[in-house]
Amino acid sequence: MTIQKVGIVGAGQMGNGIAHVFALSGYDVLINDISADSLARAVATITKNLDRQVSKNLISAEQKAEALGRISTTMELTELGPCDLVIEAATEKEAVKQAIFDTLIPHLGKDTILATNTSSISITRLASRTDRPERFIGVHFMNPVPVMQLVEIIRGIATDDATYQATMAVVKSLGKTAASAEDFPAFIVNRILVPMINEAVYTLYEGVGSVDSIDLSMKLGANHPMGPLELADFIGLDTCLAIMNVLHDGLADTKYRPCPLLTKYVEAGWLGRKTGRGFYDYRGETPVPTR
């Protein structure tokens, strides 16, 4: 399978990062979103991140210009039809993803690979509702995409070997490292990471430690580069809660019960960095714990 043109559905944090690495690696990229403002912000973010790479001598100014020249945007989902590979990177809600696939599929070529960047939802179930379960695969990039080395590759029960091998080759061409994961709730990284974050929230909820003391303890006591509550804010508390719900529903084990405090923050709209408040308040010059 020859892959040259890549469609990205969703211009948010993950979508613009995925577009960045594909364009920098020589692929033609078409980003879709329902919001013109989101598309404009995505291109601005990609430009800023490429500038940062130029300033660190990781890429040349010429490479930056060539990458930006390979990126185009559209608000019409159907315009992704001619792409060789389409990666859905929309919000972590199954109904939203399904609606995207329903609209997109009639316009795709018969050999187009359809991928999802879901961090937790069943690849097999998503694939079963499309016309190409054998050419459907999970490609879970880590955040921030231009920096993080790992990509989880998840085959659904029907994903064929040609699709798997083509996807592995694409990931390698991006300079990333692929890890194959079985199609079980939250795969590998989030199966381990998000319950740890949830336990940190329980530790806060039960008064065992403050936001500061919990994050400091894990940074200095476990050599984590970022504390679990700071990391939760970076990921997005709504995403953390969604993954915990997938784990709880999919595995029916009480150890995956979302902490009530995590639910409360999401109900308040305090979702972390993207909304200005989460376990920290980001509206001032420096983040301040909110609890």
* pLDDT tens digit sequence for 221-274: 999 999 999 999 999 999 999 999 999 999 999 999 999 999 999 999 999 999
pLDDT, average across residues 15-33:
98
pLDDT, average across residues 188-198:
96
Q: Look-up: residue for tokens 């329903």?
A: 102
pLDDT, average across residues 278-286:
97
pLDDT for residue 91 is more than 90:
no
Position 109 scores a pLDDT of 94
**Sequence spans of domains, the chain:** 5-182, 191-289
Position 234 scores a pLDDT of 94
pLDDT for residue 277 is more than 90:
yes
- 79 is a catalytic site residue: no
| Catalytic annotation, pick one of 120, 140, 198, 230 | 140
Does residue 13 have a known ligand-binding role? yes
Position 42 scores a pLDDT of 97
Give start and end residues of each alpha helix (H) in the chain: 13-24, 36-55, 61-69, 94-104, 123-128, 161-173, 189-205, 211-221, 228-235, 237-251, 260-268
Is the distance from CB of 291 to CB of 210 less than 8 angstroms?
yes
| Catalytic annotation, pick one of 16, 117, 190, 198 | 190
Does residue 57 have a known ligand-binding role? no
Does residue 15 have a known ligand-binding role? yes
Does residue 33 have a known ligand-binding role? yes
| Catalytic annotation, pick one of 20, 32, 117, 152 | 152
| Catalytic annotation, pick one of 119, 120, 122, 198 | 119
Does residue 84 have a known ligand-binding role? no
Distance CA 18, CA 77 (A): 17
Position 71 scores a pLDDT of 98
- 119 is a catalytic site residue: yes
Position 80 scores a pLDDT of 97
Residue 33's pLDDT band, with cuts at 50, 70 and 90, is very high
Distance CA 291, CA 196 (A): 19
Backbone dihedral region of 276: left (phi > 0), alpha (psi from -120 to 50 degrees) or beta?
A: left
pLDDT, average across residues 91-103:
93
Helix (H, G, I), strand (E, B) or coil at 204: helix
Does residue 274 have a known ligand-binding role? yes
Average pLDDT in the chain: 96
pLDDT for residue 278 is more than 80:
yes
Burial 234-265 (b: 16+ CB within 10 A, else e): ebbbbbbbbbbbbbbeeeeeeebebbebbeeb
Is the distance from CB of 3 to CB of 85 less than 8 angstroms?
yes
Position 137 scores a pLDDT of 98
Residue 2's pLDDT band, with cuts at 50, 70 and 90, is confident
Is the distance from CB of 258 to CB of 241 less than 8 angstroms?
yes
The structural architecture, per CATH, of the domain 5-182 is 3-Layer(aba) Sandwich (3.40)
Position 119 scores a pLDDT of 87
- 140 is a catalytic site residue: yes
Distance CA 50, CA 229 (A): 28
Residue 176's pLDDT band, with cuts at 50, 70 and 90, is very high
- 190 is a catalytic site residue: yes
Does residue 12 have a known ligand-binding role? yes
pLDDT for residue 92 is more than 90:
no
191-289 carries CATH number 3.40.50.300: no
